[in-house]
Amino acid sequence: MLQRNLGVLFLNKKVSFFSAIVIFNNALTALYKYNTYFCTIKYYRGIFMKLYFSAILLVLLALSSCKDTSDIKDRYAYIGGEIINPTTNYVVLFKTEAIIDTIKLDNRNRFLYKVNNLEEGLYSFRHGYEYQMILLEPKDSVLFRLNTLDFDESLVFTGKGAKKNNYLINEFLENEIEEKYIFKLCQLTPTIYQNRIDSLRSLKVKSFKSFKSRHKVSPLFEKIALANIDYDYYSSKEIYPFVHYGKDKVAILKSLPEDFYNYRKDINYNDDLSIHYYKYNKFLRYTFSNLSLIEHGIHSNDEHFNRYSLCYNLDRLKLIDSLVTNTSIKDELLYELTINYISKNKNIENNNVVLKSYLNKTKSKKGKKELTSFTNALNNLKIGSNFPDIKLINYENVEFDINSIIKSPTAISFWSHTFHKHFKDSHKKLKELEKKYPEVVFITINIDDYGLEKPKKSLKKYRFSSKNEYTFKNPKEASRALAIYPMTKVMIVDQNKKIVNNNTNIFSIKFEKQLLDLINR
């Protein structure tokens, strides 16, 4: 049966791509059922899955090389894959901010999609709250397999166009590790630091040249790969004054070698190619934070730099507005830096001033609405105010008003499947804190809108207790009312249900002192 269907698939060129896949899938399904009749399913499932994806790739590559003139004219690419532990039943494909399509997963959590009239470049796919970039060029046939419990680390591409995407994802993961090393290097003197990061950049360039010598690369891929190396290098330069232990940041800037920021004269602050690429955006955030130090130093009388200074943050928004002309880049930068300031600042008046500055500069209607709502919610959560009435559901499916269970000093933290590492790390930390501070009740709330079973399964998998664990009855409304950003946010409430701290962090060196102050009130 398999042989007969493959013969139809390859010999009859009038068979459409999707018809071919259906034929092929049916044949493989039949083979799978045949095998399971005689063999142990558990043993053969892994082998069969490899056969399935390898065969799909053969079909994709065969069809890609077909001499049909209509295929030659059309610019297209295929993208497909399998999602393990899916959080939704679909994948969303984007080009910049525009949604290309919402693609449903089949009953095996797989999908296959043809991008017609392909505009080559960086795309992104989103599943749940997680997303990742993918480079698509004409005639690519890229499949991937990922596990949502370890999203980036589990992502592997296969097929035509896979090598360049595996290169990019591996480079992304390596850079996450390198960042910690860079932070340590920042304590070195400027000249030694510059020599070290110059060496790191040289190694990356050498690695890319080695990749290029072994694989044929397109001009577009080469441009992106080299831009990655450059933006990592530039970001390392821009963070130096902030991470260096000295408190007088202006003095640190003056101590740098004259050529330290020479690359700035060639920077394009409105790069359409990199507009939605995380490394470019990260670099821009660091750059504008750094450039604003100079302006801030001119009219600041602060003895030590305070990154939450109202003056400094207004200077930063003003500088972005003056240098960035690309509306999308400007709106994203303004939004990220504004919400970061407002979420961590305790002064309501200053928050309102920064919000007003943001609203006057951005063109994003969505951003204006979201940040206005976020700021208003934070203002309602000021220290000393009553904790809002929020409905919770425990893992026995019993509904509670959160204030009915706050009867002693309480720390309220949040988690999401989107931030899997935070989920594991925070629960381990909470275990330690519960033993150390029995006077405090630690309430933990899953903010996802997946129902009870998925978070319950996650807790069980890692052997975390479901005691004092809840989900929101209305996740979107509750998350908005509690202004949950960033995910590390923890709220401290006293026995009288009064807010003591509306945004702290269990990993902060100050957190345990805050708990002791609460206990001793």
* Secondary structure of 415-464 in HEC code, one letter for each residue: ECCCCHHHHHHHHHHHHHHHHHCCCCEEEEEECCCCCCHHHHHHHHHCCC
> pLDDT tier at 6 (50, 70, 90 boundaries)?
very low
Model pLDDT, residue 97: 73
More confident residue, 383 or 272: 383
pLDDT in tens, 249-280: 888 998 999 999 999 999 888 887 676 677 88
Contact 472, 479 (CB under 8 A): yes
Stated pTM of the model: 0.78
Model pLDDT, residue 1: 43
pLDDT in tens, 202-225: 999 999 999 999 999 999 999 999
Distance between CA atoms of residues 57 and 61, nearest Å: 6
pLDDT at 237 over 90: yes
Count CB-CB contacts under 10 A for residue 170: 12
The structure tokens listed for 325 are 């002309």
Q: State whether the Cα torsion 385-388-392-398 is positive or negative.
A: positive
The structure tokens listed for 196 are 């070290």
Mean pLDDT, residues 156-180: 90
Model pLDDT, residue 289: 93
Mean pLDDT, residues 138-150: 87
Distance between CA atoms of residues 282 and 512, nearest Å: 31
Burial of 179 (0-12, 13-18, 19+ CB in 10 A): middle
Model pLDDT, residue 307: 87
Mean pLDDT, residues 354-382: 96
User: Rg for the chain (alpha carbons), in Å?
Assistant: 26
pLDDT in tens, 453-493: 989 989 998 999 999 999 999 999 999 999 999 999 999 99
Percentage of the chain beyond pLDDT 90 is 63
* Closest by Cα among 406, 421, 391, 431 to 488: 421
pLDDT in tens, 43-79: 444 444 444 454 444 444 444 444 444 454 568 999 9
The amino acid at 150: D
Model pLDDT, residue 247: 82
Mean pLDDT, residues 219-235: 93
Report the chain's mean pLDDT, rounded to a whole number: 85
pLDDT at 185 over 60: yes
Mean pLDDT, residues 128-140: 86
Percentage of the chain beyond pLDDT 70 is 85
Model pLDDT, residue 276: 64
* Closest by Cα among 88, 136, 90, 96 to 115: 136
Q: Report the DSSP beta bridge partners of residue 131.
A: 126
pLDDT in tens, 289-339: 999 988 888 877 777 788 889 999 999 999 999 999 999 899 999 999 999
Geometric angle at alpha carbon 416, from 413 and 419, rounded to 5°: 105
Peptide bond into 486 cis (omega under 30): yes
Model pLDDT, residue 249: 87
Model pLDDT, residue 74: 64
